[in-house]
Amino acid sequence: MLYKRNPQLNKNGELIHLLSIEGLPRQVIHHILDTAETFLSVNDREVKKVPLLRGKSVFNLFFENSTRTRTTFEIAAKRLSADVLNLDIARSSTAKGESLLDTIANLSAMHADMFVVRHSESGAPYLIAQHCAPHVHVVNAGDGRHAHPTQGLLDMYTIRHYKKDFTGLTVAIVGDIVHSRVARSDIHALTTLGVAEVRVVGPKTLVPGDLKEMGVRVCHDMKEGIRDADVVIMLRLQNERMSGALLPSAGEFFKNFGLTPEKLAHAKPDAIVMHPGPINRGVEIDSAVADGKQSVILPQVTFGIAVRMAVMSIIAGNEA
Ligand code: CP
């Protein structure tokens, strides 16, 4: 049964939760990107609202820090006319030992219609989706090192916006791949959308060995990794997920894998530079690149609002 294989799809193959890009059919990804495009103009209106989630309650549950994702989910839900509640996890009863599922049960008793969840434990949004009432929808806003599907989708939206077609592209993802949920979501999206070549670039300690099985080219040399790339996606060092010393120093990392104008010159002249944020200037990216004319880092954030509006409106419109 389809539902058993992929809990984010109902028996008609429609999206009811967004938990991961892995296993999402290509047409579902395109539907989200196309829907996001229709919402982009809402952001330019004087009254930035549509009534699609009027009367619905969206609960933002961020058990890990966030600037971009939490804020753009809140903006997106408000632009869809939902009531939005941001649970202050640090001041919540989680600190008194309440379990995740008990918290969810209590918030469900307050008539929550959608949970947007960021958690340090991989799989936490899946657990919540399994225990919610059928009418409640769950969006994964980043779980451990597993997945960050809306970041992956807004990255695909950004690439499509600037490059139009995925099939002829070479995309290089550079930095701390092993700890990155964004890298995993981007790889699943890029391969599903038929990108010609996906490369991951980084030191051996920060690139997992099993990526070749996903059809990805692994490079441990920066110039080789970004040579003739159309898109360069930089990732920060995820120090909060590292155990032990995986690098000699941040300075050494910048020397070998930090994106400077000199290194970027090896990519195509019209290559775009992306980064999910937060950026660490002088560690994985030079300010001259982050603020340069090839950078689309801030447009990514803006597109994130429309993409999150698309995800929430689509899943809310489908029944379990
Ligand atoms: N890209 C991203 O997830 O950023 P935040 O951690 O600020 O949400």
Structure tokens at 285: 């990216």
Atom number in ligand 1 closest to CA 70: 8
- The class that CATH gives domain 149-298 is alpha beta
Distance CA 298, CA 209 (A): 32
Ligand 1 center to 39 CA (angstroms) = 21
Our mutation pick for probing the ligand 1 site, out of 68, 118, 300, counting the most ligand atoms within 8 A of Cβ, is 68
Which residues sit in the known binding site? 68-69, 96, 118, 148, 151, 181, 236, 277-278
Give residue-wise pLDDT tens across range 121-144: 999 999 999 999 999 999 999 999
Nearest residue (CA) to ligand 1, atom 5: 66
Which residues sit in the known binding site for carbamoyl phosphate? 68-69, 118, 148, 151, 277-278
Ligand 1 center to 68 CA (angstroms) = 5
Query: Considering the domain 2-148+302-316 in this protein, what is its CATH number?
Result: 3.40.50.1370
Give residue-wise pLDDT tens across range 273-297: 999 999 999 999 999 999 999 999 9
Structure tokens at 49: 């609202």
Distance CA 291, CA 76 (A): 26
Ligand 1 — pocket residues by CB below 6 A? 66-69, 142, 151, 276-278
Ligand 1 center to 118 CA (angstroms) = 10
Our mutation pick for probing the ligand 1 site, out of 62, 69, 117, 151, counting the most ligand atoms within 8 A of Cβ, is 69
Model pLDDT, residue 223: 96
CA-based nearest residue to 35, from 275, 315, 292, 311? 311
Our mutation pick for probing the ligand 1 site, out of 61, 63, 67, 307, counting the most ligand atoms within 8 A of Cβ, is 67
CB 140 within 8 A of CB 60: no
Distance CA 320, CA 8 (A): 9
Distance CA 169, CA 121 (A): 33
Nearest residue (CA) to ligand 1, atom 6: 66
Which residues neighbour 183 within 8 Å (Cβ) at sequence distance 6 or greater?
173, 177, 200, 235
Structure tokens at 145: 């090192």
Model pLDDT, residue 244: 66
Model pLDDT, residue 4: 52
**pLDDT tens, position by position, for the chain (320 residues)?**
333 568 999 999 999 999 999 999 999 999 999 999 999 988 788 988 999 999 999 999 999 999 999 999 999 999 999 999 999 999 999 999 999 999 999 999 999 999 999 999 999 999 999 999 999 999 999 999 999 999 999 999 999 999 999 999 999 999 999 999 999 999 999 999 999 999 999 999 999 978 888 889 999 999 999 999 999 999 999 887 776 667 778 889 999 999 999 999 999 999 999 999 999 999 999 999 999 999 999 999 999 999 999 999 999 999 98
- Residues spanned by CATH 3.40.50.1370 within the chain? 2-148+302-316, 149-298
Which residues sit in the known binding site for L-aspartate? 96, 181, 236
